Amino acid sequence: MHLKVLNKATTFLLYLEQKFGIYFNSFIVSFILLCCAAIYVTPSIAPMELGRGYASLTIDPFDFSEQNNLRYRILTPFMAYCLGLRGSLYIVFPLIIASLFLSAIYFYIRKTQTPSESLLITMVICFSSPILFLLHFQGYVDVTSYLLILLIIIFIKKIYVWTPLMTLLLLNHESNVFIIPGLLYFYNINTPNKAKVAFSAILGFTFALIPFLLYQ
């Protein structure tokens, strides 16, 4: 039974790829999965808990007269502010990022796996804490961190790409500093020139850290 379902899913996904292309198909998959996840949990219709603090930052991200302990997690509120998704509209922005996150997962996996395998792996992420928590507690910035971590992994061999991504990662949430040793180790095992890897890693991390420290 399950093989029959997987075969039908593969046929349907291949049809979508031929019709719309792999990029747009990735967005279709992410949108459908996100809608299913919203059925599985009860989405909030307003920012919840810390989400209210992030939503407040979107009104005027650099109004330092306002007391806000989340001010240094500025990236997600600032991007929402730039897109005009401010105040009560802010909750739309993390959902957009969640869709991009799932799209990137599907696209990245699809390059080496079948459509059904790519779908199943993306579903594992969609129906787990990174997405379900976001839907129930609207407004949290964690999903932006997950997307940036994934992009760093994808572009780990290109230091000029992952360095600015790491800068954005730190500006999104200060606790992301704890995953950086793991990302640098991943860079080490994926870089053939071991003689330069340590220097490059230290240089990249230093440049990524400077904007974060200057903003504190």
Q: Where do the structural domains in the chain lie, given as residue ranges?
A: 2-154, 156-216
- Contact status, residue 215 vs residue 72, Cβ threshold 8 Å: yes
Spatial separation of the C-alpha atoms in residues 138 and 92, rounded to whole Å: 9
Helix (H, G, I), strand (E, B) or coil at 38: helix
Spatial separation of the C-alpha atoms in residues 157 and 153, rounded to whole Å: 9
CA-wise closest residue to 153 among 142, 165, 143, 144: 165
> Over pLDDT 70: what percentage of the chain?
95
Tokens of 92: 């739309």
Segment 121-138 shows an average pLDDT of 88
Tokens of 126: 């969609």
Segment 65-84 shows an average pLDDT of 86
| pLDDT above 70: residue 194 | no
pLDDT at 79: 94
Tokens of 199: 């220097």
Give alpha helix (H) positions in 21-156: 22-40, 50-57, 75-82, 92-110, 115-126, 129-136, 142-154
- Contact status, residue 7 vs residue 15, Cβ threshold 8 Å: no
Spatial separation of the C-alpha atoms in residues 33 and 59, rounded to whole Å: 30
The alpha carbon torsion through 77, 81, 87, 91 (nearest 10 deg) reads -60
pLDDT at 2: 60
Tell me which residue has tokens 């897109």.
83
Q: Please state, rounded to an integer, the average pLDDT across all residues of the chain.
A: 85
Residue 150 — pLDDT band, cuts 50, 70, 90? Answer: very high
